[in-house]
Amino acid sequence: MKKVITVFDGENFPETGINFVKEYPSDKKPLLVGVFLSSVDYSNEFSSISMGGSVVPVIEDVEKVSANIKKFKSLCEQAHIECKVHNDSGEEALEQLREETIFADLLILSSEHFYNSMNQEQPGPNMKNILERTECPVLLLPDNFTYPKKNIFAYDGGEMSVYAIKQFSYIFPEFRKNSSTLVYASEHEESIPQKQLVEELVSRHFSGLELHRLDFSPRKYFSTWLSGLNDAILVTGGYSRKGLSSIFHKNFMSEVIADHRVPVFIAHK
């Protein structure tokens, strides 16, 4: 992992991205790019608060954004993190953010702020939109995260879930020694698809791999099962591109994100 993007909007200053890079268990810290969007940009893309078909404008506090940029630089300097500031506003800001993700390894978002910025019909079309548009994997982090000691791979037998596992391995080689569980969920008595092939691949990237098929109602209880695992990170395929099966789809994702209990790594092609 060499280049990481973290996003700030308007007055909000989630420190999850900074803290993640600060504590990253590697001798070489990645470049951290702070992208500072206006409240209007963030509202349009994530909240989509509308009235009469048009988005209600949010007044941008320019002074607060400037103060946040200064704070970002100061925290990075204190943590000996090389940083860069990307400060845009207007209609092109989010497109420029998308272009920035083409040349980055990872985009970090605060899952709690991300969740609170949306309506209650989770995850909603706007969250799916940003997850689909980013050109690098996304890491959703709760505010009080701990570095993972367990990797949980949500496997649906499709190529996207395998792609996410490989991307996770390439970006986070430091996590290859974590205990790892490949989870396959089905409401029917089914064996794990391509069990031998997926085991051959994943076991060579991660030590101590276990395969686990959820034999209870996965739609209803997966989030509960996951919340019982301390220091875990969930790895899943692209959101609504083709990567998630009927089990690992929006209901499953919204519960996990809304609970704010574990980091979620999402990758798509």
d(CA 133, CA 142): 22
Residues of 202-224 as b/e, b for ≥16 C-beta within 10 angstroms?
A: beebbeebebebbeeebbeebbe
Chain centroid to CA 86: how far?
Answer: 20
Flag whether pLDDT at 31 surpasses 90: yes
C-alpha atoms less than 13 angstroms from C-alpha of 32 in its C-beta half-sphere: 31
Segment 135-192, tens digit of pLDDT:
999 998 888 888 899 999 988 888 888 999 999 999 999 999 999 999 886 555 567 8
User: What is the DSSP code (8-state) at residue 47?
Assistant: I
Q: Which amino acid is at 91?
A: E
User: Where are the CATH 3.40.50.620 domain residues in the chain?
Assistant: 3-141, 150-267
Q: Which CATH superfamily is domain 3-141 in?
A: HUPs (3.40.50.620)
| pLDDT bracket for residue 6 (50, 70, 90) | very high
Radius of gyration of the chain (CA): 19
Flag whether pLDDT at 262 surpasses 60: yes
Among 96, 178, 148, 183, CA closest to 265: 148
Segment 66-114, tens digit of pLDDT:
889 999 999 999 999 999 998 766 556 677 788 889 999 999 988 776 6
User: What is the DSSP code (8-state) at residue 175?
Assistant: G
Among 135, 144, 126, CA closest to 5: 135
| pLDDT bracket for residue 129 (50, 70, 90) | low
CATH of domain 150-267: 3.40.50.620
Segment 200-243, tens digit of pLDDT:
999 999 988 998 877 666 556 677 777 777 789 999 886 544 43
Tell how strand 138-141 and strand 264-267 pair up: antiparallel
Most confident of 14-28, 29-43, 226-240: 14-28
Tokens representing residue 119 in the block: 């309506």
Among 137, 156, 125, 161, CA closest to 47: 125
For residues 61 and 29, which has the higher predicted lDDT (pLDDT)? 29
